[in-house]
Amino acid sequence: MITGLPDSVAWPLLLFMAVVTITRFAFYSTNSTQYDKYLNYTLGFALASNLLRDRTIETCLNQVVGWDLTTMQQISLALMIFVGAEFRGFTTVWRGDLPNEEAIRRHRTHRVTAVVCCVVFLVAATPARNAGEHLEVHGGWPAVIAWSFYEIPIVALTAPLMWMCIKETVRRDAAFKERLVPLGGIVIGLLIAVSNPGAAVLALLEELGWLHSVDYRLAVHSVIFFTISVFANMLAAVPCLLAVHVRTGLDSMSRTWRRLQPMLADMTRIVPAIVFQLDTPSRYRRKTPLDVHQSVVQLRDAMLQLRPWTQPLDNEEAERFLRQHAVPPRQHPEALRALRLARAAEAKLDGRPAINNDQTETTTYRGTSLQEEAADLLRLATWWPAARTYTGSGHAMEVAQ
């Protein structure tokens, strides 16, 4: 392979790039944002560029259209020019400091520049193509011109990409996961900054006879282009993986909903009046904040309905429960709240008369957000099974007839 990598390494990475590119074109093209479209084009050009460097593809194209290795190398490099242009369009829109129409208009300029650079590159690289030699090997002033125009769109991408990624990384409100993508972008920017300007400079020094770097450039260029493409696809795969993560119900909201369901199932049998159904419940494993909100409201309502049967716990019973279930000291309040609630449920199921009391401990908590409310109920739900079993009402908890 022109990439200089063994097939056992290159082919899995090419397959990864193909899967990411096809997935993004399939799911992030229709009704997608402008930066999604630009990123898709970036990945498409990068995939085509790297496929042209595969030995099998090279052989097929040579047999079908008669292209030699030199021609395919130059077309591959020409496609990388458009990779730089489209990726720059992505960074322009992502920064968000321009109106959408202005960003699109500016990107047209990037594309026109890429076309001009591509034409000049291919014209300047013609002597190497006619000689059947790699551009690095053939050398000459035309090669210096070719490398210079090749680098214009790619090097122009470096500064805005680095600036955008650094801003996203240092944001105070950015979570660790949100920093991973811009950190990857910084790696790409560094690879571009280190490798690409050197191509024209080294070609110039070679032509002046000041430095011999042909072998170095042949070894580095193919690998660095491939590496940049792999990193770009890794970043582009993140939204796809997050979408899969959410759709399969592995996100925090869906996990919260599932953890509340055992306790909610018991409460709906004890206090059927709390049941209500949303107009459009989620049909998949993914649960929305509305689903969690419904569970929170039902559980709070059940706790309020059980308040007339809620009584203070005997100190000896509380200590026995905490000791029997090895409750950590920090979780004593939640465990005892669960035990009080289980005792109230037991009293209601046994048909004991309601009493007038001011025990509001199980119902006074009011968070300022859905996350806080859900977190409080999760702490309570953690000890609910133990409390329910301890009170002897762990059997199916059927409502007394």
| The three-state (H, E, C) secondary structure of the chain, written as one string | CCCCCCHHHHHHHHHHHHHHHHHHHHHCCCCCCHHHHHHHHHHHHHHHHHHCCCHHHHHHHHHHCCCCHHHHHHHHHHHHHHHHHHHHHHHHHHHCCCCHHHHHHHHHHHHHHHHHHHHHHHHHCHHHHHHCCCHHHHCCHHHHHHHHHHHHHHHHHHHHHHHHHHHHHCCCCCCHHHHHHHHHHHHHHHHHHHHHHHHHHHHHHHHHCCCCCHHHHHHHHHHHHHHHHHHHHHHHHHHHHHHHHHHCCCCHHHHHHHHHHHHHHHHHHHCHHHCCCCCCCCCCCCCCHHHHHHHHHHHHHHHHHCHHHCCCCCHHHHHHHHHHCCCCHHHHHHHHHHHHHHHHHHHHHCCCCCCCCCCCCCCCCCCCCHHHHHHHHHHHHHHHHHHHHHCCCCCCCCCCC
Residue tagged 């990123």 (tokens): 39
Residue tagged 């199921």 (tokens): 349
Q: What is the pLDDT of residue 15?
A: 93
- How many alpha carbons lie under 13 Å from residue 323 in its C-beta half-sphere? 6
Which pairs from 237-245 meet CB under 8 Å and 24+ separation? 237/16, 237/20, 238/180, 238/181, 239/28, 240/20, 240/23, 240/24, 240/27, 243/27
Q: What is the CA radius of gyration of the chain?
A: 32
Q: How far apart are CA 140 and CA 21, in angstroms?
A: 37
The per-residue pLDDT for range 57-93, each reduced to its tens digit, is 878 888 888 888 888 889 999 999 999 899 888 888 8
Q: Higher confidence at residue 365 or residue 144?
A: 144
Place 126 in a pLDDT band, splitting at 50, 70 and 90: very high
Whether residue 366 has pLDDT greater than 60: no
CATH topology of domain 7-247: Rhopdopsin 7-helix transmembrane proteins (1.20.1070)
Q: How far apart are CA 186 and CA 13, in angstroms?
A: 21
Of 80-84, 199-203, 344-348, the range with the lowest mean pLDDT is: 199-203
Q: What is the pLDDT of residue 196?
A: 65
Please provide the average confidence, as pLDDT, over all residues in the chain: 83
Q: Higher confidence at residue 160 or residue 83?
A: 83
Place 372 in a pLDDT band, splitting at 50, 70 and 90: confident
Q: Please state the rounded mean pLDDT for residues 111-118.
A: 95
Report percent pLDDT > 90 for the chain: 26
Q: What is the pLDDT of residue 31?
A: 66
Whether residue 140 has pLDDT greater than 70: yes
Q: Higher confidence at residue 360 or residue 269?
A: 269
Sign of CA dihedral 50, 55, 57, 63: positive
Place 283 in a pLDDT band, splitting at 50, 70 and 90: low
Q: How far apart are CA 132 and CA 208, in angstroms?
A: 23
Q: What is the pLDDT of residue 117?
A: 95
Q: What is the pLDDT of residue 116?
A: 96
Q: What is the pLDDT of residue 357?
A: 59
Report percent pLDDT > 70 for the chain: 89
Q: Higher confidence at residue 224 or residue 133?
A: 133
Q: What is the pLDDT of residue 399?
A: 43
Q: Who's near 389: CB < 8 A, 6+ residues apart?
A: none
Of 71-80, 253-262, 301-310, 384-393, the range with the lowest mean pLDDT is: 384-393
Q: What is the pLDDT of residue 394?
A: 44
Q: 385's torsion region: left (phi>0), alpha (psi -120 to 50) or beta?
A: alpha
Q: Model's pTM, two decimal places?
A: 0.71
Q: How far apart are CA 342 and CA 362, in angstroms?
A: 11
Q: Please state the rounded mean pLDDT for residues 2-16.
A: 79
Place 362 in a pLDDT band, splitting at 50, 70 and 90: very low
Place 371 in a pLDDT band, splitting at 50, 70 and 90: confident
Q: What is the pLDDT of residue 195?
A: 67
Q: Please state the rounded mean pLDDT for residues 42-66.
A: 86
**Would you kindly state where each structural domain of the chain is located, as residue ranges?**
7-247, 252-390
Place 401 in a pLDDT band, splitting at 50, 70 and 90: very low
